[in-house]
Structure formats: structure tokens, C-alpha cells
Chains A and B, each alone.
Chain A
Amino acid sequence: MNNKQDLKQVVNQALAEQKVPHVKLKKIGVDKVNVERLTKPSKETRQEYWGKGLTYAAIILIIALVVSIIGFIAVRGLSTFLQNHVNVFHFLTSTDWDPGEGKNYVGAAAMIVTSFAVTILAALVATPFAIAVALFMTEYSSKKGGHFLQTVMELLVGIPSVVYGFLGLTIIVPLIRNIFGGTGFGILSATLVLFVMVLPTITSLTVDSLNAVPNHYRQASAALGATHWQTIYKVVLRVAAPRIMTAVIFGMARAFGEALAVQMVIGNAVLMPYNLVSPSATLTSQLTSQMGNTVMGTLPNNALWSLALLLLIMALFFNFLVRFVGKKGQK
């Protein structure tokens, strides 16, 4: 604490040379000046350190948490390749999944394909609905109608994912069984369940993006004699496009990571899906249903952790994609 010493010296010197207002000093006496107190941090400064320290600690905790989540899952997930010597390429492209049989039966391609299929299909179905609802809320309806739909969306968000899974199991699966035959489990059921689940996510972000379009664009377009729809299609949607893209990616990220609702309706058979109504399995559904059946440290268990690692990487990738599209939109 060299600084403190210096400060003390300065104060002492100033007192000796009587550079401080000496009228007051004469009254109280030079020797009674509390140099210690004058040079110590004030009560406010100490409060400030304390408070700032607390908030810093919370931040550091969160960063440490995220780093350790990634670290732990990476270590576990990589041991399939490092300890059990499974070929990464084989893991990504083979459809033979029976890790109990040895390292040549650890192919996750069927699950990867199914995961992507349900994600992309759900986003494809949900996006038109989401954009329609968002347009209705921002461009068409009165304040009351918009408020009503807002409540509808909040209610949809609030429904827990197991409840969606249960409804899928009791309504959608029998319906599809009656229409298409087979068991009713499969990609189509999962898509329909995920469609309802990602709808609010995409809608609320799309509403934000439409609200961010400056009103004078709409007025300028209307002044040119454009119809309402021309204004929306040629001006509003074009301006909002990058942020709508971001909204769709957010929705896809949610669909990709959804576990229980999908697990309940997908059928849980690790097979390459040959049509939309054949039972199959996604990365999340396989993790959910099998993690409890394997022993820590064995190949079947490590293989599951590799699936978890794949999920983690995809989550990071979606994150990156959102940033990338967002940056492009700013240009």
C-alpha cells in the first residue's frame, strides 16, 4: 500500500507547512487532526467495494458454471472417441446403434437425421402461423385483439412440455394411427407437438421485429398508393426479414433441444426413419429414455454422453447462427 503511505506523508507535510486552512487548525490544534481517518477510504467507498464485489461474485459464478457445464459434458462425451476408440466419422454417419455390442455399433446417424427432421419440419409448419399471428397483432388488429392474442401466446408458453407430450400421446398419436395406419408414433406426431411448442417463441420474437420497423416506412408506402398487403409484403416484411430469421432459429433451437414431449410421441426406436409415421428416435429422446439404463463409464453410457455433447454443440451452433444473422441484418 505504497499509495496510502504517500497520502499520509502528503497530509502530514501539509499540516506541518500549515497549507490547510489554519484558522480552523489553530482552534482544534494540529496534533488533534486525525490523519488516519483522513487518509482511510470513506464508509461510502467501503460500501461500494462490498456491493460491487457481491455482484462480481454472482457474475463469476455464472461464467464458471457455463464453463464447467461445457467442460464436464465435453470430457464425458469425448471419452467415447478417446477411450473406446470409436471413429468420429463412423459415429456421425453409421446407422448401427447398439453400443452394448462394441465400438462398431455406435452410429448416431439415425438420431441425428430424426432430430433435424423434426426440427426443420416443425419450424416450416410454425413459421407461416407465427408470421400471420404477428402480422395480425401489429398490422391488422385493434389494441384489444392484439392484447388477446398476446395472452393466448403467454398461455401457450406456460403449458409445461410434459403436458404437450401427454396431449400428443392421447390426441395426436391415435389420430395419426387412424389416418395413416401403423403405430401413430413418429416424426409427424413429434412435428405437430413441436409446432405448437415453438409457435409462441417464433411469434413473440417476430412481433418484436415488426414493431421495430419505423412507422414512416408504412406511411410512405401507403402514400404511394400501395394496398395494405403490398405495404406488408414489399416493405414491412423485407425490413424485418433478418430479425424474423433470428426468430425462426430461436424456435428451431427450442425444438432441437426439447426432450420429454418428443420422447413421448416419437416411438423410441433407433431406426432410420423411412417415412413420417415410422417410429424413430431423436438425440434427446434417446438420452431421456436410456440414460438410466446404462452404467457409468461403460461404452453404452459414454455413447449417450456423446449424444449429449452433440446436443450441446448444436445449441452453441444455433447461438452462433443467431449472432451471425443478427450482425448481417445490421449492415
Chain B
Amino acid sequence: MNAKTRDKVATAVIYALVSVVVVILFGIIGNILVSGVPHLSWHFLTSEASSYQAGGGVRDQLFNSLYLLVLTMIISLPIALGAAIYLAEYATDNWFTSLIRTTIEILSSLPSIVVGLFGYLLFVVQFGFGFSIISGALALTFFNLPTLTSNIEQAIAGVPQTQRDAGLALGLSNWKTIRGIVLPAALPGILTGVILSAGRIFGEAAALIYTAGQSGSTIDYSNWNPFSPTSFLNVMRPAETLAVHIWKVNTEGIIPDADIVSAATSALLIIVVILFNLGARALGNHLYRKLTAAKS
């Protein structure tokens, strides 16, 4: 075989492997949407999950997922923002900075089940929170921190140095420059990072099984008192999310329509995650165009 034939063969092999990957992706997405979307009815979205009969919905799971997402973001955003500002603006090239980077890398490489078990040990058992939304939100925060921090850090590092110089030349303190100039300039990138990590949180289940629990309590959506045990806002109640629901109906297999419920829930999850991804991109582009003079 001479060099030219070899080149052709290699090209053909690469094209073949790439098409296999594309086919797999479309197979996956297509399969989920085709088998799930027909069952996504208004009834499915607004009725309670049933524990042993067919025909249950995912109302509470959907709300719990969103509620956990919001709580997690409220807790993790300030921490990630602070850490990212430190790494992008204040950190010098010394042992302490490399220690921080190593720590964050370790945190991001921990399997999510390990993070979940730590949350179980600390919050559920040690602090006595029990299986609760707050335990889940804290565990998800740990899971979320490394990605969010590095996303925000990249966004901040992308702001041109001249912007900082301008702020300092006006006699502003470093901190005021960061708050008043760098952060607004980095906002599109930060928002994109937040939305992308929101997608990851939304689909996470392993960290939640032993923190937020695998069962839901009866929830009253008209009870606005967050301290009442039946209120939908109560953070101390156990809560099952959409992703955990898929896992549970498949492994326990009590309800007869487990396949239908999980197909529909999977479709719902995928649609939300894709919306998050598209939303992140669209918002990033929109803000970028608005804040800079870029065309197209």
C-alpha cells in the first residue's frame, strides 16, 4: 500500500467513525424525544407522582428540581464569584495559588456519588438536617463550585487589561475597578457559565439520592409559609427531583408504567437542558452585541 492509498483509507476510516458518532447522538436524542414527547401531556406535568399505580405525573419532581436549582445557585454563586475574582485578579504565581488550583481540580474530579455521600455524612447525619432540600442544595453546591468557578474565572480573565488600567488611572481602588468595570464587562461570560452549570445541576442525581432523598412529602402549593412542614417553600422537607425520579422508578420498578414515566421524564430533562444550552448561547451573543460594538 503506498502513501496515497493509505491516506485515502485513513480518511475513509475517520469519516466512518465520525458518522458513527453522529448517528449515535441522533439515535439517542431521537429515541428519547420519540418515546417521551407523546407522553408529555399537561396532565403529566401537573399531577402528582403515583407510588404504585399507572398514570402518575411529575409535578412535585419538576418543582423540586427548579427549587433546588435556584437554592443551589443562590448558595454557590457568591462563593464561586469570590473565588474566581481572587484567582483572576489577586492571585500571584506562588505556592498558595497552585494549592488553590490543585484543590479546585481535586474537587472537580471527585465522583458525584462521593460528594453526595459527604453531604449525607455532614448534613443529613451530623447536622441532623435529615433528607432535605437544604442538604441537597449544599451537596449540589459542592458539585457545582469547581465548574462555576473556572467558568467565571475565564470570563473575568477575558476582560482586556486596558479596562483595568483605565479604572486604576482614575484613582479607583482595585476592588472598585473589579466591581465597577471588570465584572460588568465579564457579565455575558459569567451568565453563560451560570446557565451552563444550571443544566448540569438540573440533571444531576447521584449527589442527591442520599441528600435530598428519594421520596417526596405531600406538598401544599398554597401554603406560602416556609416554616410549615407542608409548604412547598419549606427547605427541610425531603424532595425527589426529576433525575432521581427516573432512577427510582427504574430500579424499584413498582409502578407498572415505569418505562413511559421515565421516557417522558427523560424527554422533559433533555428538553430543559437543551433549552439551557441554547439560552446560554443566545444570551451570551445578545449581551456581547449589546455591550460591544461588534456586528453579526
Contact = CB atoms under 8 A, between A and B. Distances in A.
Contact of A256 (B17, B28, B105, B111): B111
B178 A73 contact: no
A58 B114 contact: no
A59 B83 contact: yes
Given A132-B13, A165-B250, A257-B113, A170 B118 contact: no
Given A54-B82, A132-B13, A73 B277 contact: no
Interface in A32-74: 44-45, 47-48, 50-52, 54-59, 61-63, 65-66, 68-69, 72-73
A199 interface: yes
Interface in A267-298: 284, 287-289, 291-292, 296
A51 B202 CA distance: 32
Contact size class for B? 35 or more
Nearest to B247: A162
B32 A163 contact: yes
Interface stretch (B219-227, B267-275, B288-296): B267-275
Interface in B6-65: 6-7, 10-11, 13-15, 17-18, 20-22, 24-25, 28-29, 31-32
Nearest to A196: B24
A129 B17 contact: yes
Interface centre among B102, B105, B114 (most CB of A within 10 A): B114
A73 B173 contact: no
B155 interface: no
Contacts of A180: none
B206 A288 contact: yes
A305 B274 CA distance: 36
Contacts of B104: 62
B203 A159 contact: yes
B79 A319 contact: no
Nearest to A136: B18
Nearest to A171: B31
Contacts, number: 243
A235 interface: no
Interface string B249-283: 01100000001001100100110011011000000
Given A163-B269, A264-B247, A133 B175 contact: no
A156 interface: yes
B110 A63 contact: no
Interface in B90-121: 90, 99-100, 102-107, 109-115, 117-118, 120-121
A169 B203 CA distance: 18
A160 B205 contact: yes
Interface centre among B203, B206, B250 (most CB of A within 10 A): B206
B175 A160 contact: no
A233 B10 CA distance: 10
A158 B246 contact: no
B199 interface: yes
Contacts of A129: 17, 20-21
B178 A51 contact: yes
Contacts of B3: 226-227, 229-230
A287 B17 contact: no
Given A63-B99, A253-B109, A162 B205 contact: yes
A319 B25 contact: no
A259 interface: yes
B194 to A, nearest CB: 15
Contacts of A56: 86
A311 interface: yes
A78 interface: no
A166 B250 contact: yes
A92 interface: no
Nearest to B244: A162
A22 interface: no
Contacts of A318: 109
Interface string A240-275: 000000000000010011111001100000000000
B103 A47 contact: no
A226 B112 CA distance: 46
B246 A228 contact: no
29 contacts: A48-B175, A52-B90, A55-B82, A56-B86, A57-B82, A58-B81, A62-B83, A65-B142, A69-B118, A136-B14, A149-B22, A155-B29, A158-B276, A161-B203, A161-B206, A162-B266, A163-B203, A163-B243, A165-B246, A167-B266, A227-B4, A228-B7, A228-B11, A256-B111, A257-B110, A287-B113, A291-B117, A292-B209, A308-B117
Instruction: Give 3 nearest A-B pairs by CB, closest first.
Output: A160-B203, A257-B111, A58-B82
Interface of A: 44-45, 47-48, 50-52, 54-59, 61-63, 65-66, 68-69, 72-73, 76, 128-129, 132-133, 135-136, 140, 149, 152, 154-156, 158-163, 165-167, 169-171, 196, 199, 226-230, 232-233, 253, 256-260, 263-264, 284, 287-289, 291-292, 296, 305, 308, 311-312, 315-316, 318-319
Given A47-B175, A58-B81, A230-B7, 12 more contacts: A65-B142, A65-B145, A73-B117, A156-B25, A158-B199, A162-B244, A253-B109, A257-B113, A315-B111, A318-B109, A319-B105, A319-B106
